[in-house]
Chain A
Amino acid sequence: MRSRSDPFQILLVEDESADVHLVRQALKEGEVDCSLQHVVDGFEALEFLRRQVESERSPGLPDLILLDLNMPRMNGREFLAAVKADVRFVAIPVVVLSTSAVERDISQAFQLGAAGYITKPADMNEFFSSIHQLCRYWFALARLPKGD
């Protein structure tokens, strides 16, 4: 079991390795006290969450999920719907991080319970600053459940 003095845990669900690298770099540069777990699609992400609640030695559920939309096997929409329908996972905030600025994707994500929707900036510095702002909101400003 964790206490709040432990670093925040982010689960990144993303099939694009370049974007994973960028998020990792942004967290490092921002000196955000958090650990990043990474899976490549919604199917793996659900498996990951189930392992966290089923294994006693696991570090527990993530504090925040960063979710890409377009992925093979199980996409972001399907994953979001599954998480928000499962009482064990429903309280975890899920923020969409996508290249899509399509209105249908945005409104659908909020309808499914997303707690934010960020379009990936093409510029690296802007990408970093978006991730930093995201972390400030969720880890400095907002109160999250203690995770135990």
Chain B
Amino acid sequence: MIHDNTAPFDILLVEDEPADAHLVRSALQEGRIYCKLHHVVDGIDALAFLRHQGEQYQSVPRPDMILLDLNMPRMNGGEFLAVVKADEALKAIPVVVLTTSDVERDIIASYHLGAAGYITKPVDMEQFIDAIRQVGDYWFVLTRLPRKD
């Protein structure tokens, strides 16, 4: 299954914890996935990124997939997910939740809001890297994603 997209896949990581953002970046580098990681720290910044609001987001690409933390200041993951899935121009982008929470209520709420996966961050670093690699395999190797314009 070879994708004919010539540009790398773009991932938008919405994560306020720098250590976790670093781990995701390392995992993607170690894996064999051809992608570019864009990182913002909360739901407000993520929406600005997606809607090209603000000077730094004028020429950013539309991400192929969003990796979303749940607990963040200003606008949390659940609120962000609800806004994205209610927006006709954004709702087709798959959003995968990546969180430390394994509370059943958070899992159910995320799927209700339209999450395309819910992954609890493994504490062990190697497992964390392996989880990110599997996410990449599923979305960028197995799944066909809409082509970018």
Let me know if B118 is at the binding interface, CB within 8 A: yes
Count class of interface residues, chain B? 20 to 34
Let me know if A115 is at the binding interface, CB within 8 A: yes
Known pairs A113-B114, A141-B134, A143-B107; A130 contacts B142 (CB<8 A): yes
- B48-79 CB mask vs A (1 if < 8 Å, else 0) is 00000000000000000000000000000000
Closest to B130 in A: A141
Q: Is the CB of A143 within 8 A of B119?
A: yes
Cβ contact of A116, chosen from B102, B108, B116, B131, cutoff 8 A: B116
- B119-132 CB mask vs A (1 if < 8 Å, else 0) is 11000000000010
Q: Which residues on the B side are within 8 Å of A130 (C-beta)?
A: 1, 142
Cβ contact of B108, chosen from A91, A107, A111, A113, cutoff 8 A: A91
Q: Is the CB of A144 within 8 A of B107?
A: yes
Q: Which residues on the B side are within 8 Å of A101 (C-beta)?
A: 144
Q: Is the CB of B111 within 8 A of A91?
A: yes
Residues of A within 8 A of B (CB): 84, 87, 90-93, 101, 103, 106-107, 110-111, 113, 115-119, 121, 126, 130, 133-134, 136-138, 141-146
Residues of B within 8 A of A (CB): 1, 85, 91-94, 102, 104, 107-108, 111-112, 114, 116-120, 131, 134-135, 137-139, 141-147
